[in-house]
Structure 1
Amino acid sequence: MQIRDLPYSDPGVPDARSGPRFLLWLGRNQLGGQLKSLAWGLLHFGSIAGLPYMVGIAVEAVLDRSGTRLALAGALIVVLGIAVALGDTMLHRTAVTNWITAAARVQQLLARKTALLGAALTRRVAAGEVVAVSTGDVEKIGWFVEALSRFAAAAFTVVLVTIGLLVYQPALGVVVAVGIPLLAIAVLPLLPRATRRADFQREKAGRATELASDTVAGLRVLRGIGGEELFLDRYRRASQEVRTAAVRSARMWATISAIQVLMPGLLMIAVVWHGIHLAREGRITVGELVTVYSAVMMLNYPLRHFEEIAMAYSFSRPSAKRAARVLSLERTTRSADEAASGTGATSDKGTERLDEGVEHPSTPPTGDLYDPATGLLAPAGRLTAVVCGDPDEAGRLAERLGGHPAFDGAADLPSVRLGDVPLDGLPLAAARTAVLVQDKDPVLLSGTLSTLLDVPASGAVSAAEALSAAQCSDVLDALAQTSVDDDPMAAHLTERGRSLSGGQRQRLALARSLVTDPEALVLDEPTSAVDSHTEARVADGIRELRRGRTTVVLTSSPLILDRAERVVFLDEGEVAAVGEHRELVHSQPRYRAVVTRETDDERVTVDTLTDLDIEETA
């Protein structure tokens, strides 16, 4: 894989059981690039290792006054110099290619996982952690993959040079053979502490990133309540904690670097001291002493890669662990019988993945939308409004209706059915084609309005019809003023639609959902940010545009409830009442309390008056 060939057509299925396993999986998938990097690394380091021997030959030639041998040594030094330059260039090229392609593979895997889980991802993993994994952690993982082949080439070269010195000059080679392993293991006792400090720094950095993203996302609200300084002060403290942790980690790595400089220096002193005594005794020549000295000095360069691989692994291991944690999240897919009974098998990766071998319908299912867990039934082709006594239950219900199983320990719940087909038994693409869920806080991506509405759709609903039903005329007028040719469809929307009001963003998101025209559309509080007059018109627009299509609206707005064909009231996770809005207001005190938001005193007064009316009638 070359950089020009990115992105991958298929990044593969990662081994996300642990951070080290994920790193190993990345290495296996880049075996070709690793071997290329290793080959160029061996050329580079091997050429460097050969220079001391050529220098020794040149020194001997000068002492023996042999011009031929001196010329030959000089020519070989030039050849080795060219090989060093070529090897270094190509090693850097292939290593950086490994880095970028590994980072790109991880980013594609994360993007695919984000698309697979959708809004369920941030319910299971903090948004700040997802940001940290997809940015800084990806770079650190790529660094380890890139450094691995260079370290292998350096280690192989060190072993060959040590063996060569033992054969070339055993008396001095023994000193080197004993000293090199000591150099390699000298920093090992410090690595666990350095790793713990690096992990602590990553944890603090992730927390600061999460806090920063939350602050930026809620900046408008914070300004409204005067809370900017409070959150900025929290971020300052988090930032200082990151700085302190980074300094403590840097001190440890500085100590390791100092040892990496000190130990080779001590080895070199030992070699020179012992070599001088051997030369005085006539047991070695001056050329041999220069060769061994130069070889030990040259070994400092490949030995530095031992420190680099230790740092790369220490920094990438927690990053790989976090990436593996995100990539291990799965949308549970069960067979029809298991989805109906609420059971499923768990694989060795801790996730339920029964997609293979399951028969799935080739076309999206149709029929009534039914949730066995609550008893909710949304008849096909009708507009059903759902009122939840517990506001949190609405979000969980919307998630289940979209084909996602519960993530709060309730994975044994039976699957929601569309017709006779359990949604948990469908691949996610098929489930999303059949049922589309619009979250309570939908996100608008940056781009033109035309791009926003360019989504997979049946083609039965045009963008103009969807915008009209969502009452977006004022939004179109505002966008037309910002467009160069007065075309609102060509107007640019900023990230998350921050240039628009909350109600305008909500209506554009609703229009996007209406354009798709799914078999069943689930809307979670689609008008919570608009005024009552606009809300009434939006409710009428949804009813007219979705006539004959299954629509479920999770809301407590009387304006929408009054226009629904069927209202279902859920209390304590079960269907408590079904009927029309006006009927339920009079017959169900609990429903009335949720919809009208009346206080306990008001509820008692209404109930008393109702009882008096009944007595008078009797």
Structure 2
Amino acid sequence: MSMRRLPHPDPGIPDLRSATRYLLWTARGQWRTLALGVVWAVTWFAAQAVVPAALGAGVQAASEGRQSDVLRAAAALALLGAVQAAAGILRHRMAVTNWIAAASRVQQLVVRHTARLGSRITRDVATGEVVAVTSSDVEKIGSGFDVFARFAGAVVAFVGVAIVLFRSSPALGLVVVIGVPILGLSVAPLLKPLERRESDRREKFGLATELASDTVAGLRVLRGIGGEELFVRRFHEASQEVRTSAVQVARVRSTMDALQVALPGFFVVAVTWLSARLVVSGTLEIGELVAFYGWSAFLLIPLRTFVEAAHRWTSAYVGAGRVVHLLRIPVPDETGLPMPAARAAAAVLHDPASGLTVQPGLLTAVVCAEQSVADSIALRLAGLGEGADAVTLDGVPLGELARADIRAAVVTQDKDPVLMSGTLAQLLDLPRSGRVGVQQAVEAASAYDVLDALVDSSPEVSDPMQARVTERGRSLSGGQRQRLALARSLVVDPPVLVLDEPTSAVDAHTEARIAVALREVRAGRTTVVLTSSPLVLDIAEHVVLVLDGEVVAEGRHRELLHSDPRYRAVVTREEVTAP
């Protein structure tokens, strides 16, 4: 597999029965690159393992005055160096390929699943957990696949060198065959504590990330109520817990690293001492001593690889467990009755919970005394939230319609819309009917000054559509974000558009322009605007008043303003009184 073929055309259906089964499923999906990586790793290790033999042969030939054999040994060393360099480059390339392939598969699976879950994901898993999975856990799983080929090559090299040593000197062979596994197993008691502490650190990191995300998102509100110090203190406490947990993980890792250096050092000393005694006794020649010393030093590389693999696979196992937990969250049923866009455009939308009925092709304004009621109605009309399944479109409950058709038929814009980072062209590059162009949508949303501001902040950009919007539009004011989001909604031009307070953060002059343009752009389409703004209400073709969650009056704005004191009280921000 070439790295240019990533991301995967289809990440597949993962095995979520356990973290181990998920990792094995991922390995089966990229077995070719794993196998090729093993081939190059074995070649790389083999070239290093033969070097001591060639060096020992050269030293022995020099001690006996065989000049031609010395030259042949030197040529062999040069050839082994070239093979080792080439195999090392290819091994590293395949290791990176396996790392990226495994990490990319995790990211694609998580993104696909979160997209299917939609707003439900925040009810089942914290936002910080999702962020941690797509950052920390992805890296851990990819790192586990990175070390796989080197581990396999280290095993082959160890077995090969052990056989050579055993055939040359049974005593040394036994020392290696028995000693190296013991050294490798010396870190085994540390793996379970490392897994436990790594899992605890990972959980605390996710909670701290969630708290930081919530604090940044609500910073303006926190400052308004003087609560930023409280959240700073909470984040400080959470970060200290992460630090303490990370120190505990570091203690286990440092012990493993110390053993990784100290124990192999003692092993080399022991093998060298035993080899020297065999030379003194006449059992070994000087060239064999050099070779045995080289092999004992070389065996440190496989031994360190074993320890590194154990550490990385422990972290990968913990990360895979988190990924499996996220991917196990059930996705709402996507099947249902079809609802063609043409039928949805001419359909009546009815919310039984409030009694709201939206006639097709009209701009309907809904006035609610409580913002929470307006938010709930907006969610239900889009097929989201509690009671949404009972909402009917053309007499068919949304719970019986295909989810894809609902999303295509009804689009809802929240009162605090989220803007993804990227260029304006990317922001407005959405599935659309083609009836409303980008320029028309931007003009209707009165957002040209927003484009000018973005261009001014990016002097290197001449085309406004190439100006970049920062993450969540944080560099823009609330009104600017609302207008860009409105332009985005108008470009989509769905059969039914639900707007929750789309002009609450703009000035009166801008709001008046948007209201008139909205009626013109959405002419013949079903539009629901939840608002109490007189400027928007005055251009609405039908106005509905909702009190205590139920429809209590309907008509035109000016008629209701004069005939219904409850409506007048809500619109003019007076206290609502009983009729």
Shorter-chain TM-score category? 0.7 to 0.9
Structure 1 SS opposite 2:527 = strand
Query: What is the Cα deviation at residue 304 of structure 1?
Result: 0.8
How do 1:303-314 and structure 2 match up within 5 A?
303-314=303-314
Query: What is the Cα deviation at residue 152 of structure 1?
Result: 1.7
- Could you tell me how far apart the structure 2 residues matched to 1:507 and 1:382 are? 22
Query: What is the Cα deviation at residue 269 of structure 1?
Result: 3.7
Matched, 1:432 2:441: no
Superimposed CA distance per residue, residues 172-225 of structure 1 (whole angstroms, 9 cap, x where no aligned partner): 212221112211211011111122222333333333333333344344445555
Matched, 1:569 2:569: no
- Could you tell me how far apart the structure 2 residues matched to 1:521 and 1:310 are? 54
How do 1:540-559 and structure 2 match up within 5 A?
540-555=516-531
Matched, 1:443 2:423: no
Evaluate the alpha carbon distance shift between residue 390 and residue 155 of structure 1 in structure 2; reply closer, same or farther with a 3 A threshold: farther
Structure 1 SS opposite 2:299 = helix
- Could you tell me how far apart the structure 1 residues matched to 2:138 and 2:308 are? 18
- Could you tell me how far apart the structure 1 residues matched to 2:570 and 2:536 are? 14
Evaluate the alpha carbon distance shift between residue 74 and residue 419 of structure 1 in structure 2; reply closer, same or farther with a 3 A threshold: same
Counterpart of 2:359? 379
- Could you tell me how far apart the structure 1 residues matched to 2:225 and 2:242 are? 28
Counterpart of 2:294? 294
- Could you tell me how far apart the structure 1 residues matched to 2:46 and 2:382 are? 60
- Could you tell me how far apart the structure 2 residues matched to 1:56 and 1:493 are? 65
The one-letter amino acid of 1:438's match is Q
Q: Number of matched residues? A: 574
- Could you tell me how far apart the structure 1 residues matched to 2:35 and 2:11 are? 20
- Could you tell me how far apart the structure 2 residues matched to 1:460 and 1:224 are? 42
Counterpart of 1:343? none
Evaluate the alpha carbon distance shift between residue 493 and residue 45 of structure 1 in structure 2; reply closer, same or farther with a 3 A threshold: closer
Structure 1 SS opposite 2:411 = strand
The unaligned stretches of length 5 or more in structure 2 are none
Superimposed CA distance per residue, residues 305-327 of structure 1 (whole angstroms, 9 cap, x where no aligned partner): 11211221233333333334444
Superimposed CA distance per residue, residues 217-265 of structure 1 (whole angstroms, 9 cap, x where no aligned partner): 3444455556555544544444444333333322211111111222223
The unaligned stretches of length 5 or more in structure 1 are 337-358, 611-618
Evaluate the alpha carbon distance shift between residue 590 and residue 195 of structure 1 in structure 2; reply closer, same or farther with a 3 A threshold: farther
Structure 1 SS opposite 2:33 = helix
Superimposed CA distance per residue, residues 88-139 of structure 1 (whole angstroms, 9 cap, x where no aligned partner): 1211122122223333333344444454445554454433333333333332
Evaluate the alpha carbon distance shift between residue 566 and residue 275 of structure 1 in structure 2; reply closer, same or farther with a 3 A threshold: same
- Could you tell me how far apart the structure 2 residues matched to 1:269 and 1:523 are? 76
Match of 1:419 among 362, 377, 394: 394
The one-letter amino acid of 1:459's match is G
Evaluate the alpha carbon distance shift between residue 199 and residue 549 of structure 1 in structure 2; reply closer, same or farther with a 3 A threshold: same
Q: Is the 8 A contact 2:410 2:498 kept in 1?
A: yes
- Could you tell me how far apart the structure 2 residues matched to 1:16 and 1:392 are? 38
Q: Is the 8 A contact 1:333 1:424 kept in 2?
A: no
Query: What is the Cα deviation at residue 34 of structure 1?
Result: 1.0
Of 366-375 and 34-43, deviating more is: 366-375
Match of 2:497 among 508, 515, 521: 521
- Could you tell me how far apart the structure 2 residues matched to 1:20 and 1:244 are? 28
- Could you tell me how far apart the structure 1 residues matched to 2:92 and 2:73 are? 28
The one-letter amino acid of 1:496's match is R
Counterpart of 2:84? 84
Counterpart of 2:316? 316
Q: Is the 8 A contact 2:421 2:470 kept in 1?
A: yes
Query: What is the Cα deviation at residue 40 of structure 1?
Result: 0.5
- Could you tell me how far apart the structure 2 residues matched to 1:80 and 1:472 are? 67
Q: Is the 8 A contact 2:349 2:391 kept in 1?
A: yes
User: TM-score, normalized by length of structure 2?
Assistant: 0.84
Of 383-392 and 429-438, deviating more is: 383-392
Of 135-144 and 449-458, deviating more is: 449-458
- Could you tell me how far apart the structure 2 residues matched to 1:585 and 1:322 are? 56
Match of 1:512 among 475, 488, 491: 488
Q: Is the 8 A contact 1:360 1:425 kept in 2?
A: no
Counterpart of 2:252? 252
Query: What is the Cα deviation at residue 297 of structure 1?
Result: 1.9
Evaluate the alpha carbon distance shift between residue 305 and residue 373 of structure 1 in structure 2; reply closer, same or farther with a 3 A threshold: farther
Counterpart of 2:474? 498
- Could you tell me how far apart the structure 1 residues matched to 2:152 and 2:373 are? 55
Identical residues among aligned pairs (%): 51
Query: What is the Cα deviation at residue 42 of structure 1?
Result: 0.1
Of 249-258 and 424-433, deviating more is: 424-433
Matched, 1:455 2:430: yes
